[in-house]
Amino acid sequence: MTGFLTSARKSPGFGPFESSLERDFFLLLEFDRTVLAWHPQPLTLPVPATAGLRRSRYTPDVAVEYADVPGGSRLARVELCEVKYRDELKANWKLLKPKLKAGVHHARVNNWRFRIYTEREIRTPRLTNAKFFLTYRERATDGDDIYRIASVLRQLMHGTPAEVLASPLLCDDRPRLLGVLWHMVSVGIVELDFDQALSMSSPIRLIDRAIY
Protein backbone atom coordinates (compact mmCIF):
# COMPACT_ATOMS: atom_id res chain seq x y z
CA MET A 1 0.00 0.00 0.00
CA THR A 2 1.33 3.42 -0.97
CA GLY A 3 -0.10 6.91 -0.71
CA PHE A 4 0.16 10.29 1.00
CA LEU A 5 -0.96 11.39 4.43
CA THR A 6 -1.75 15.09 4.69
CA SER A 7 -0.74 16.84 7.90
CA ALA A 8 -3.13 19.50 9.19
CA ARG A 9 -0.76 21.02 11.73
CA LYS A 10 2.76 19.67 11.35
CA SER A 11 5.59 20.16 8.89
CA PRO A 12 6.13 19.36 6.05
CA GLY A 13 2.40 19.25 5.31
CA PHE A 14 2.17 15.79 3.76
CA GLY A 15 4.04 12.53 3.81
CA PRO A 16 4.36 9.61 1.38
CA PHE A 17 3.97 6.16 2.90
CA GLU A 18 4.95 2.82 1.37
CA SER A 19 2.95 0.45 3.56
CA SER A 20 -0.14 0.51 5.75
CA LEU A 21 2.19 0.18 8.74
CA GLU A 22 4.00 3.40 7.76
CA ARG A 23 0.62 5.11 7.32
CA ASP A 24 -0.42 4.02 10.81
CA PHE A 25 2.86 5.26 12.28
CA PHE A 26 2.39 8.65 10.59
CA LEU A 27 -1.10 8.84 12.11
CA LEU A 28 0.43 8.32 15.54
CA LEU A 29 2.96 11.09 14.87
CA GLU A 30 0.24 13.42 13.63
CA PHE A 31 -1.79 12.82 16.79
CA ASP A 32 1.11 12.99 19.27
CA ARG A 33 1.15 16.45 20.86
CA THR A 34 4.85 16.12 21.68
CA VAL A 35 5.70 15.85 17.96
CA LEU A 36 6.70 19.18 16.43
CA ALA A 37 7.26 17.85 12.91
CA TRP A 38 7.81 14.63 10.98
CA HIS A 39 9.78 14.37 7.76
CA PRO A 40 9.28 11.24 5.61
CA GLN A 41 12.36 9.92 3.82
CA PRO A 42 14.47 12.79 5.18
CA LEU A 43 17.90 11.77 3.82
CA THR A 44 19.81 9.05 2.02
CA LEU A 45 22.94 7.54 3.56
CA PRO A 46 25.79 5.64 1.91
CA VAL A 47 26.16 2.06 3.12
CA PRO A 48 29.67 0.61 2.76
CA ALA A 49 30.22 -2.82 1.27
CA THR A 50 30.28 -5.71 3.71
CA ALA A 51 31.01 -9.42 3.38
CA GLY A 52 28.80 -10.71 0.58
CA LEU A 53 27.03 -7.37 0.05
CA ARG A 54 27.84 -4.54 -2.33
CA ARG A 55 27.94 -0.89 -1.44
CA SER A 56 24.40 0.49 -1.28
CA ARG A 57 22.30 3.38 -0.04
CA TYR A 58 19.77 3.66 2.77
CA THR A 59 16.84 6.06 3.19
CA PRO A 60 15.23 5.97 6.66
CA ASP A 61 11.45 6.14 6.69
CA VAL A 62 11.01 9.29 8.77
CA ALA A 63 12.77 11.80 11.03
CA VAL A 64 10.70 13.03 13.97
CA GLU A 65 11.22 16.24 15.95
CA TYR A 66 9.91 16.06 19.53
CA ALA A 67 9.11 18.91 21.90
CA ASP A 68 10.07 18.88 25.56
CA VAL A 69 6.39 18.90 26.67
CA PRO A 70 3.04 18.19 24.97
CA GLY A 71 2.05 21.25 22.98
CA GLY A 72 5.48 22.81 23.51
CA SER A 73 7.55 24.57 20.88
CA ARG A 74 11.10 23.87 22.10
CA LEU A 75 12.93 21.05 20.33
CA ALA A 76 13.98 18.36 22.79
CA ARG A 77 15.18 15.51 20.58
CA VAL A 78 15.16 14.06 17.09
CA GLU A 79 14.50 10.43 16.20
CA LEU A 80 15.49 8.78 12.94
CA CYS A 81 13.01 5.94 12.44
CA GLU A 82 12.66 2.79 10.39
CA VAL A 83 9.21 1.17 10.11
CA LYS A 84 9.12 -2.54 9.31
CA TYR A 85 6.95 -5.56 9.94
CA ARG A 86 8.63 -8.02 12.28
CA ASP A 87 8.47 -10.82 9.70
CA GLU A 88 10.15 -8.54 7.16
CA LEU A 89 12.93 -7.69 9.59
CA LYS A 90 13.53 -11.36 10.30
CA ALA A 91 13.43 -12.46 6.65
CA ASN A 92 15.71 -9.69 5.37
CA TRP A 93 17.95 -9.12 8.39
CA LYS A 94 21.23 -9.85 6.58
CA LEU A 95 20.43 -7.22 3.94
CA LEU A 96 18.93 -4.71 6.36
CA LYS A 97 21.55 -4.90 9.11
CA PRO A 98 24.28 -2.78 7.42
CA LYS A 99 21.68 -0.21 6.40
CA LEU A 100 20.31 0.06 9.90
CA LYS A 101 23.86 0.36 11.25
CA ALA A 102 24.35 3.33 8.91
CA GLY A 103 21.22 4.88 10.38
CA VAL A 104 22.43 4.28 13.93
CA HIS A 105 25.79 5.86 13.13
CA HIS A 106 24.25 8.94 11.51
CA ALA A 107 21.91 9.43 14.45
CA ARG A 108 24.74 9.09 16.96
CA VAL A 109 26.95 11.61 15.14
CA ASN A 110 24.10 14.15 15.18
CA ASN A 111 23.05 13.46 18.80
CA TRP A 112 19.80 11.95 17.57
CA ARG A 113 18.21 8.60 18.36
CA PHE A 114 17.63 5.76 15.92
CA ARG A 115 14.63 3.50 16.47
CA ILE A 116 12.94 0.63 14.66
CA TYR A 117 9.16 0.53 14.95
CA THR A 118 7.19 -2.63 14.16
CA GLU A 119 3.52 -3.52 14.35
CA ARG A 120 4.09 -4.40 18.02
CA GLU A 121 4.83 -0.75 18.85
CA ILE A 122 2.44 0.80 16.31
CA ARG A 123 -0.77 -1.23 16.23
CA THR A 124 -1.88 -0.64 19.78
CA PRO A 125 -4.88 0.91 21.56
CA ARG A 126 -3.12 4.28 21.08
CA LEU A 127 -3.44 3.91 17.30
CA THR A 128 -7.16 3.11 17.60
CA ASN A 129 -7.60 6.20 19.77
CA ALA A 130 -5.54 8.35 17.40
CA LYS A 131 -7.68 7.38 14.42
CA PHE A 132 -10.84 8.17 16.39
CA PHE A 133 -9.79 11.49 17.89
CA LEU A 134 -8.14 12.88 14.76
CA THR A 135 -11.61 13.01 13.21
CA TYR A 136 -12.62 15.49 15.94
CA ARG A 137 -9.49 17.66 16.08
CA GLU A 138 -10.37 20.10 13.29
CA ARG A 139 -14.11 20.09 13.96
CA ALA A 140 -15.67 23.54 14.43
CA THR A 141 -16.73 23.86 18.07
CA ASP A 142 -18.61 26.53 19.98
CA GLY A 143 -16.50 28.17 22.68
CA ASP A 144 -19.48 28.37 25.06
CA ASP A 145 -19.91 24.59 24.88
CA ILE A 146 -16.23 24.09 25.67
CA TYR A 147 -16.53 26.42 28.66
CA ARG A 148 -19.59 24.57 29.98
CA ILE A 149 -17.90 21.17 29.78
CA ALA A 150 -14.73 22.56 31.34
CA SER A 151 -16.80 23.96 34.22
CA VAL A 152 -18.34 20.55 34.87
CA LEU A 153 -14.94 18.86 34.80
CA ARG A 154 -13.52 21.49 37.15
CA GLN A 155 -16.27 20.70 39.63
CA LEU A 156 -15.74 16.94 39.32
CA MET A 157 -11.92 17.19 39.53
CA HIS A 158 -11.79 13.69 38.00
CA GLY A 159 -14.60 12.01 36.12
CA THR A 160 -15.67 9.98 33.12
CA PRO A 161 -17.43 10.99 29.90
CA ALA A 162 -20.64 9.44 31.25
CA GLU A 163 -20.40 11.45 34.48
CA VAL A 164 -19.70 14.68 32.63
CA LEU A 165 -22.68 14.29 30.32
CA ALA A 166 -24.91 13.39 33.27
CA SER A 167 -24.45 16.90 34.70
CA PRO A 168 -27.65 19.03 34.76
CA LEU A 169 -25.56 21.79 33.13
CA LEU A 170 -25.32 19.66 29.98
CA CYS A 171 -28.80 18.21 29.78
CA ASP A 172 -29.92 20.16 26.70
CA ASP A 173 -28.05 18.34 23.92
CA ARG A 174 -25.91 15.48 25.19
CA PRO A 175 -25.15 13.75 21.84
CA ARG A 176 -23.78 17.00 20.37
CA LEU A 177 -21.87 17.84 23.55
CA LEU A 178 -20.21 14.42 23.50
CA GLY A 179 -18.64 15.45 20.19
CA VAL A 180 -17.45 18.67 21.84
CA LEU A 181 -15.89 16.65 24.64
CA TRP A 182 -14.04 14.46 22.12
CA HIS A 183 -12.79 17.63 20.42
CA MET A 184 -11.48 18.86 23.77
CA VAL A 185 -9.62 15.59 24.21
CA SER A 186 -8.18 15.75 20.71
CA VAL A 187 -6.69 19.25 21.16
CA GLY A 188 -5.33 18.69 24.66
CA ILE A 189 -7.89 20.49 26.83
CA VAL A 190 -9.02 17.22 28.43
CA GLU A 191 -6.66 14.38 29.24
CA LEU A 192 -7.19 10.64 29.15
CA ASP A 193 -4.98 7.57 28.86
CA PHE A 194 -4.60 6.95 25.12
CA ASP A 195 -2.90 3.62 25.80
CA GLN A 196 -6.18 2.20 27.09
CA ALA A 197 -9.31 1.33 25.13
CA LEU A 198 -11.79 4.23 25.11
CA SER A 199 -15.20 3.91 26.75
CA MET A 200 -17.74 6.13 28.45
CA SER A 201 -16.19 5.07 31.77
CA SER A 202 -12.63 6.07 30.82
CA PRO A 203 -11.09 8.39 33.45
CA ILE A 204 -10.68 11.95 32.16
CA ARG A 205 -9.58 15.24 33.68
CA LEU A 206 -9.31 18.88 32.72
CA ILE A 207 -5.73 19.96 32.04
CA ASP A 208 -5.03 22.92 34.31
CA ARG A 209 -2.83 24.82 31.85
CA ALA A 210 -5.19 24.37 28.89
CA ILE A 211 -6.39 27.50 27.10
CA TYR A 212 -9.99 27.51 25.86
Please report the pLDDT score of residue 17 as a whole number. Answer: 75
Please report the pLDDT score of residue 157 as a whole number. Answer: 83
Residue ranges and CATH numbers for the domains of the chain are 3-123 (3.40.1350.10), 139-206 (1.10.10.10)
Using alpha carbons, select from 78, 66, 11 the residue that is nearest to residue 33: 66
Which pTM value belongs to this model? 0.89
Please report the pLDDT score of residue 210 as a whole number. Answer: 56
Please report the pLDDT score of residue 5 as a whole number. Answer: 73
Please report the pLDDT score of residue 58 as a whole number. Answer: 97
Please report the pLDDT score of residue 26 as a whole number. Answer: 92
Q: Rounded to an integer, what distance in angstroms lies between the CA atom of residue 76 and that of residue 48?
A: 31
Burial of 168 (0-12, 13-18, 19+ CB in 10 A): exposed
Please report the pLDDT score of residue 1 as a whole number. Answer: 66
Burial of 56 (0-12, 13-18, 19+ CB in 10 A): middle
**Contacts with 50 (C-beta within 8 Å, 6 or more apart), sequence order:** 98
DSSP bridge partners of 190: 206
Please report the pLDDT score of residue 87 as a whole number. Answer: 97
What pairing do the DSSP bridges indicate for beta strands 75-83 and 113-117? parallel
Would you write out the chain's pLDDT as a tens digit for each of its 212 residues? Answer: 677 677 767 766 667 777 999 999 999 999 999 999 999 999 999 999 886 788 899 999 999 999 999 888 999 999 999 999 999 999 999 999 999 999 999 999 999 999 999 999 999 999 999 999 999 998 888 999 999 999 999 999 889 999 999 999 888 788 899 999 999 999 999 999 999 999 999 999 999 765 55
Give the model confidence (pLDDT) of 109-121 as tens digits: 999 999 999 999 9
**Contacts with 199 (C-beta within 8 Å, 6 or more apart), sequence order:** none
